[in-house]
Amino acid sequence: MDGDLTARLVYLGLLLLALGTWVLVEYRGRIGAAIRAGLAWALIFVAVLAGYGLWRDVRHELTPTQAVMENSRIEVPRSRDGHYYVTLDIAGTPVRFMADTGASSIVLSQADARRLGIEPDRLDYLGEAITANGSVRTARVRVGPVALGPYREERIPAWVNEGPMDMSLLGMDYLRRFRIEIADDRMILSR
């Protein structure tokens, strides 16, 4: 057991000891009430966990996703936050990007790079990008094959951002391969 895990277990043990002591003092002589209150809190906890699990299962059905339409057009609905999110299949791994016409390149978050088998800690961050949050260092990589609906590219350049990112960005290096049309809260990509 490493030191971090031991410290967490000691902390959890102290927390449980404090909670147990409080229950004994608060419910002294009323053990039935203590059991009822404990079961009520346990049910609330289970309900929250079940709700979270259910949300993870149905959120993709409740939020619109991209679709391949007739003539191989790809329609991407605008999200509630006003952005367009595109999922590319990169070497068999689905990666969700925010379409960013203000970005020059494809920029991978470190988490997405790891999912694609790229180890961010081993990259040489020789590039630099100017973002709304200032400048960040970047490392150039090549990814592929990349598929969006019926469209496939064998290998394309991308950048891994050294700084923290919530999500990868799909910039104009990739988007320029398509004719882009925005209509009725949909971004339509076609060739």
Interatomic CA distance for residues 179 and 182, integer angstroms: 10
**Mean pLDDT (whole number) for 176-184:** 93
- Domain spans, the chain: 3-62, 67-190
Has residue 56 got a pLDDT over 70?
A: no
DSSP code of residue 171: -
Interatomic CA distance for residues 120 and 112, integer angstroms: 10
Interatomic CA distance for residues 158 and 170, integer angstroms: 9
Has residue 112 got a pLDDT over 60?
A: yes
- For the domain with range 67-190, which CATH number is right: 3.40.640.10, 2.40.70.10, 1.20.1290.10, 1.20.1050.10? 2.40.70.10
Has residue 60 got a pLDDT over 60?
A: no
Ranges 33-37, 136-140, 172-176: which has the least confidence: 33-37
Residue 139 confidence (pLDDT): 96
Interatomic CA distance for residues 149 and 176, integer angstroms: 16
The pTM of this model reads 0.66
Q: How confident is the model at residue 164 (pLDDT cuts 50, 70, 90)?
A: confident
Residue 80 confidence (pLDDT): 83
- The pairing of beta strand 134-143 with beta strand 186-190: unpaired
Q: How confident is the model at residue 21 (pLDDT cuts 50, 70, 90)?
A: confident
Q: Could you tell me the strand order of the sheet in which 134-143 lies?
A: 127-131, 134-143, 156-161, 107-108, 168-170, 93-99, 85-90, 146-148, 151-153
User: Across the strands, what pairs with 188?
Assistant: 75, 181
Q: How do residues 72-105 score in pLDDT, each as one tens digit? A: 899 999 988 889 999 999 999 999 999 998 889 9
Is residue 106 packed enough to be buried (19+ CB in 10 Å), middle (13-18) or exposed (0-12)? buried
